[in-house]
């Protein structure tokens, strides 16, 4: 599937949550190790983020990786090499981002991974890790987030952008998330 077809299919892919899968951490490790082998000395660190990184949390079965780089110029320079490594992206979307770059891996007719590249230790990096760690530390917070996700999946079953945008207020409601 070419880049344009994958992006079109991804935009219209159903928002389908599933129960936590104990294989998700291993899928993260496998992809992290693959990326570190393909791009030695480029990524400072790669972390598992998103709902698949929180044991017991329902999630779309897409493993999110947060890759830290030294500069955004370095992140932007990875577009073509990452495409050659099996990722796709929207050049138009990434052009609107000043603090990160976004890529998607597609296999077997669906998204398998999201790769977020940001400056290691910067605001995007810190915010993602803070949110993940808050969910891991608080079963009550994780349960509230799971309930919101379930409600939004019903409300926006075929609009991933609306689903994602609707979660923003919850994510931003955490104190000290920046």
Domain ranges of the chain: 3-172
Closest CA to 102 of 65, 133, 130: 65
pLDDT above 70: residue 127: yes
Sheet holding 87-88, edge to edge: 45-49, 63-69, 110-119, 101-107, 87-88
pLDDT above 80: residue 111: yes
Dist CA 128 CA 13 (whole Å): 24
Give mean pLDDT, residues 12-39.
94
Buried residues in 8-39 as b, exposed as e (16+ CB within 10 A) = eebeebebebeeeeeebeebbeebbeebeeeb
Stated pTM of the model: 0.90
- Looking at residue 177, what is its pLDDT? 47
At 44-94, the pLDDT tens digits run 999 999 999 999 999 999 999 999 999 999 999 999 999 999 999 988 888
pLDDT above 80: residue 164: yes
Closest CA to 129 of 44, 62, 50, 72: 50
C-alpha separations of 152 from 40, 134, 166 in Å: 39, 21, 7
CATH architecture of 3-172: 2-Layer Sandwich (3.30)
């Amino acid at each position: 599937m070419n880049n344009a077809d994958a992006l079109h299919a991804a935009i219209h892919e159903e928002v389908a949550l599933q129960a936590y899968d104990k294989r998700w951490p291993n899928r993260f490790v496998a992809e992290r190790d693959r990326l570190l082998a393909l791009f030695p000395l480029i990524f400072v660190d790669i972390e598992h983020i998103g709902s698949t990184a929180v044991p017991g949390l329902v999630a779309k079965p897409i493993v999110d990786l947060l890759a830290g780089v030294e500069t955004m110029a370095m992140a932007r320079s990875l577009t073509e090499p990452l495409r050659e490594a099996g990722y796709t992206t929207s050049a138009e979307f990434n052009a609107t981002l000043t603090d990160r770059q976004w890529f998607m891996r597609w296999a077997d007719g669906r998204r398998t991974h999201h790769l977020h590249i940001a400056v290691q230790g910067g605001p995007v990096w810190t915010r993602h890790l803070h949110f993940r760690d808050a969910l891991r530390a608080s079963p009550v917070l994780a349960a509230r987030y799971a309930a919101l996700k379930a409600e939004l999946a019903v409300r926006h079953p075929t609009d991933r952008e609306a689903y994602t945008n609707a979660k923003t207020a919850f994510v931003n409601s955490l104190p000290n998330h920046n």
